[in-house]
Amino acid sequence: MLRDITIGQYYPAESAIHRLDPRVKVVATFIYIISLFCFKQLSGYIIAALFFLCMVKLSRVPFKFITRGIKPIIFMLIFTAALNLLWTSGENVLIKAGFITITAEGVKKMVFMALRLVFLIIGSSLMTLTTTPNQLTDAIESLFKPLNKVKVPVHEIAMMMSIALRFIPILVEETDKIMKAQLARGADFESGNVIQRIKSMVPIFIPLFVSAARRANDLALAMDARCYHGGEGRTKMKPLKYKKKDIAAYLVMLCYICLIIAAGRILPV
């Protein structure tokens, strides 16, 4: 059912990773992504892969859920791989046919670049798989709080994100209702070329926008009625508090990044 759609791709499970403070997970993901660009040789990839596998094991998320994240970027992956393959110049030419030159350096760069992208995607999908969207907005609000000093409305942005999350299923359901109503009036969304199909969407989007604007107005009134007046003087029902395991997780990340940097300096391959 449409009511059951979830945004993001949270995988509910009881695991050490799930229970971590969402801020730790956001920071750790950033560290992991940065670490991917700290090395150039094979050993770095092995360390990054091993570390990631450990985390997956800890999170109890089935591996196929994690690899699912790669699907939407497969085209981009092939494209970057091809570019790297064709445009890298080097001495060890493997194939030369017309204007196409493939070098051993090119192959190496292609493989490493593709691996880097894959790690980047699956690394961040591990975070979204183990953190609910609500926790994520809380973490973002708390982590970016210092930006308040430079007049970035951090609380308001986080509030908008969480309201958007709440209304997505409602608006999806509404779109479905409008589509059915238009179908009942003889609308045709299936046939015709691309332009005709896009045109046939207009009678769906206009009522949807009108109703979304109306809902926004209602919601603003309801928030006013419940004394909402921005982030100032606001308390939290579920405040984020670091526990011992969160500190431990930060230490693990620190060890990991040291290891990666050290490996990059010391190990030859």
- Using CB under 8 A as the criterion, which residues of the chain lie in contact with other proteins when the complex forms? 3, 133-134, 162-163, 165-166, 169-170, 215, 218-219, 221-229, 233-239
> 222 vs 251, which CB is nearer to other proteins?
222
Length, in residues, of the chain: 269
> 3 vs 185, which CB is nearer to other proteins?
3
Rounded to the nearest whole angstrom, what is the least distance from the CB of residue 115 to other proteins in the complex? 36
Sign of the C-alpha dihedral, residues 53, 57, 58, 61?
Answer: positive
> 98 vs 239, which CB is nearer to other proteins?
239
Rounded to the nearest whole angstrom, what is the least distance from the CB of residue 173 to other proteins in the complex? 8
Three-state SS at 191: coil
Rounded to the nearest whole angstrom, what is the least distance from the CB of residue 227 to other proteins in the complex? 4
In DSSP notation, 35-92 reads HTTS--SHHHHHHHHHHHHHHHHHHT--HHHHHGGGGGGHHHHHHHHHHHHHH---S-
> 89 vs 235, which CB is nearer to other proteins?
235
Alpha carbon 136 to its chain centroid, in Å, reads 11
Rounded to the nearest whole angstrom, what is the least distance from the CB of residue 176 to other proteins in the complex? 14
Half-sphere exposure of 231 (CA within 13 A, CB side): 15
φ, ψ for residue 96, nearest 5 deg: -135, 110
Looking up tokens 């921005």 gives 230
> 78 vs 160, which CB is nearer to other proteins?
160
Rounded to the nearest whole angstrom, what is the least distance from the CB of residue 156 to other proteins in the complex? 13
Looking up tokens 């997780």 gives 249
